[in-house]
């Protein structure tokens, strides 16, 4: 990913949590690697609560530095990174202030990248203010989630932004698509003859995709109580991962070829009948419990949350894809807060052998499976059965560990680092196209509408568990169970 492309990276929300924890650390890692960022590239932070560049650099040194020093900090690299950073004080609510930004960056070379690490309510005003001072030309705009509250509001934002920036200028970011194991999933499927013949209904029994968090809503109670897990995680992260897992082989890895295949998956999702939602969708809300020995409060008592809130903090879904490759194969999606562990993984359960001369253990569900772990540790493991040492033919589960760090000396690239470099270099394949986003919202909306109209509260689950029992019961009906506590 070495590049000579000059750039001006303008970061709106320059003192926000996302900038502090993810964006600026990712840019520093690219800078420290050498050659990934052109020497002439500049980072321009935009905020209103900081007086000038000197004060902003002090903020970066105090708040961002701790997030990059965990891997050891090269002070010379840090000093040279700070030299890239400029600062412009702007009140985003005052369009006249954008002339200050235009004047500050008009002599800076290269492509302009505007990263909107702000709330979605500011996306359209910022884009209109940029256009008013002529900054929408020769530029790219990066939009963080959530992009809207439902299909209507998402379309309204996309329509307004689309009047100012062409689709090929718009980068809708989903950081899960930048994770190394997701990239390796594509490599395993489309770079080898071993897996692709098995990647279909004849050989796959079911697929699970889980994104579980130990954390609660933290300081985001107001936001989360108006959002919920379905909007926050399913509509974007989980459906994007599903589309990567289930897509047909693209004819190339260019941006539209990859996204065309993802779109076909999203459009092939079996529509949810409102009368059947109770059978294929489980929503839950955490109550008080214990996580790693510490007592944690119930969701309804979190700061900013309404005491009688019916917002879901857990979602489990059974999803079907109506096409020749996947007809009849259930995809189980799960996400939640205050669960037993922090984990994100994809589990491909292959079918058992049709007849076993080795005993019943060879016929058990999940004996053959591929586990793609996205977090906290990034691994890919292929599980199969082998004979235990000793007398008799006793089978035990073993795995092949695809330990990429043993083969490649280079450290794995963080998701945001990869995606930011893709923006600078104009690569759109790992970003969400508008028609993908619309297809995802369209599929999710019947569930949203049914839950909003329902008088039934979310199913309770104790913090520190794996969610409501109904989520496990849904899988039990298909003769399988969630993979949990995988080492």
368 in any annotated domain = yes
**pLDDT score at 181:** 85
Tell me which of 253 and 141 has the higher pLDDT.
141
Question: In this structure, are 93 and 230 located in the same domain?
Answer: no
Question: In this structure, are 135 and 187 located in the same domain?
Answer: no
Question: In this structure, are 237 and 301 located in the same domain?
Answer: yes
Question: In this structure, are 51 and 106 located in the same domain?
Answer: yes
By three-state DSSP, how is residue 261 classified?
helix
Q: Could you give the CA distance from residue 291 to residue 464 in angstroms, rounded to a whole number?
A: 5
Question: In this structure, are 285 and 433 located in the same domain?
Answer: yes
Reduce the secondary structure of the chain to three states and give it as a string. Answer: CCCCCCEEEEEECCCCHHHHHHHHHHHHHHHHHCCCCCCCCEEEEEECCCCCHHHHHHHHHHHHHHHHHHHCCCHHHHHHHHHHEEEEECCCCCHHHHHHHHHHHCCCCCEEEEEECCCHHHHHHHHHHHHHCCCCCCEEEEECCCCCCCHHHHHHHHHHHHCCCCHHHEEECCHHHHCHHHHHHHHHHHHCCCCHHHCCCCCEEEEEEEEECCCCCCCCHHHHHCCHHHHHHHHHHHHHHHHHHHCCCCCCCCHHHHHHHHHHHHHHECCCCHHHHHHHEEEEEEECEEECCEEECCHHHCCCCCCCCCCCCEEEEEECECCCCCCCCCEEEEEECCECCCEEEEEEEECCCCCCCCCHHHHCCCCCEEEEEEECCCEEEEEEEEECCCCCCCEEEEEEECCHHHHCCCCCCCHHHHHHHHHHCCCCCCCECHHHHHHHHHHHHHHHHHHHHCCCCCEEEECCECCCHHHHHHHHCCCCCCCCCCC
Question: In this structure, are 322 and 465 located in the same domain?
Answer: yes
Is pLDDT above 60 for 45? Answer: yes
Annotated active-site residue in 2, 31, 175, 237? 237
Question: In this structure, are 345 and 403 located in the same domain?
Answer: yes
Confidence of residue 89 (pLDDT cuts 50, 70, 90): very high
> In the beta sheet, which residues pair with residue 380?
372
Confidence of residue 188 (pLDDT cuts 50, 70, 90): confident
Specify whether 251 is catalytic: no
pLDDT tens column, 309-324 = 999 999 999 999 999 9
Is pLDDT above 80 for 72? Answer: no
Query: In the chain, what percentage of residues exceed pLDDT 70?
Result: 95
Instruction: Say which range, 76-90, 282-296, 374-388, has the weakest mean pLDDT.
Output: 374-388
Question: How many structural domains comprise the chain?
Answer: 2
The backbone torsions φ and ψ at residue 249, rounded to the nearest 5 degrees and listed phi first, read -60, 125
344 in any annotated domain = yes
167 in any annotated domain = no
Name the strand (E) or helix (H) holding 131. Answer: helix 123-132
pTM for the whole thing? 0.92
Question: In this structure, are 38 and 116 located in the same domain?
Answer: yes
The backbone torsions φ and ψ at residue 475, rounded to the nearest 5 degrees and listed phi first, read -75, -35
**pLDDT score at 353:** 83
CA 98 from chain center: how many Å?
31
> In the beta sheet, which residues pair with residue 321?
269
Question: In this structure, are 270 and 320 located in the same domain?
Answer: yes
Q: Could you give the CA distance from residue 321 to residue 243 in angstroms, rounded to a whole number?
A: 10
Q: Taking residues 86-104, what's their average pLDDT? A: 93
53 in any annotated domain = yes
Question: In this structure, are 78 and 16 located in the same domain?
Answer: yes
Look at the alpha carbons of 232, 238, 241, 246 in this order and tell me if their dihedral is positive or negative: negative
pLDDT tens column, 323-348 = 999 999 999 999 999 999 999 999 99
Question: In this structure, are 138 and 200 located in the same domain?
Answer: no
Question: In this structure, are 81 and 189 located in the same domain?
Answer: no
Which domain CATH number covers 90?
Answer: 3.40.50.720
Indicate the average pLDDT of the chain: 91
Confidence of residue 485 (pLDDT cuts 50, 70, 90): low
């Amino acid at each position: 990913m070495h590049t000579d492309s000059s750039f001006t990276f303008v970061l709106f929300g320059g003192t926000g949590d996302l900038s502090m924890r993810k964006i600026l650390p990712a840019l520093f890692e690219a800078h420290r690697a050498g050659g990934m960022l052109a020497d002439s590239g500049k980072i321009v932070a935009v905020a209103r609560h900081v007086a000038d560049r000197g004060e902003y650099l002090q903020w970066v040194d105090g708040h961002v530095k701790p997030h990059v020093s965990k891997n050891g900090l090269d002070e010379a690299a840090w000093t040279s990174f700070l030299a890239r950073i400029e600062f412009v004080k702007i009140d985003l609510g005052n369009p006249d202030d954008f002339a200050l930004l235009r004047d500050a960056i008009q002599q800076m070379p290269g492509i302009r990248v505007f990263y909107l690490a702000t709330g979605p309510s500011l996306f359209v005003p910022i884009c209109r203010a940029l256009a008013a001072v002529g900054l929408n030309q020769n530029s790219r705009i990066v939009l963080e989630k959530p992009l809207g509250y439902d299909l209507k509001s998402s379309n309204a934002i996309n329509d307004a932004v689309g009047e100012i920036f062409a689709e090929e200028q718009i980068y809708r970011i989903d950081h899960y698509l930048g994770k190394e194991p997701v990239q390796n999933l594509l490599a395993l499927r489309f770079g080898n003859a071993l897996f692709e013949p098995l990647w279909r209904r004849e050989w796959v029994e079911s697929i699970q995709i889980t994104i579980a968090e130990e954390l609660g809503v933290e300081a985001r109670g107001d936001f989360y109580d108006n959002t919920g897990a379905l909007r926050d995680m399913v509509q974007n992260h989980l459906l994007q991962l599903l589309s990567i897992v289930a897509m047909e082989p693209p004819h190339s890895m260019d941006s539209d070829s990859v996204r065309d295949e993802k779109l076909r998956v999203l459009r092939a999702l079996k529509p949810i009948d409102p009368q059947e939602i109770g059978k294929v969708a489980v929503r839950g809300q955490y109550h008080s419990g214990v996580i790693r020995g510490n007592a944690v409060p119930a969701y309804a008592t979190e700061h900013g949350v309404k005491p009688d809130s019916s917002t879901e903090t857990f979602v489990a879904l059974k999803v079907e894809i109506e096409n020749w490759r996947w007809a009849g194969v259930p995809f189980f999606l799960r996400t939640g807060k205050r669960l037993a562990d922090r984990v994100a993984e994809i589990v491909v359960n292959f079918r058992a052998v049709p007849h076993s001369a080795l005993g019943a253990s060879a016929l058990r569900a999940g004996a053959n499976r591929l586990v793609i772990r996205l977090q906290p540790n990034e691994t890919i493991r292929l599980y199969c059965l082998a004979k235990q040492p000793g007398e008799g033919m006793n089978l035990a589960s073993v795995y092949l560990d695809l330990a990429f760090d043993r083969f490649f000396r280079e450290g794995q690239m963080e998701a945001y680092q990869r995606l930011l470099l893709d923006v600078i270099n104009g690569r759109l394949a790992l970003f969400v196209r508008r028609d993908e986003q619309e297809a995802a919202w369209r599929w999710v909306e019947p569930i949203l509408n049914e839950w909003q109209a329902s008088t039934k509260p979310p199913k309770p689950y104790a913090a520190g568990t794996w969610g409501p029992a109904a989520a496990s019961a849904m899988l039990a009906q298909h003769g399988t169970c969630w993979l949990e506590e995988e080492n």
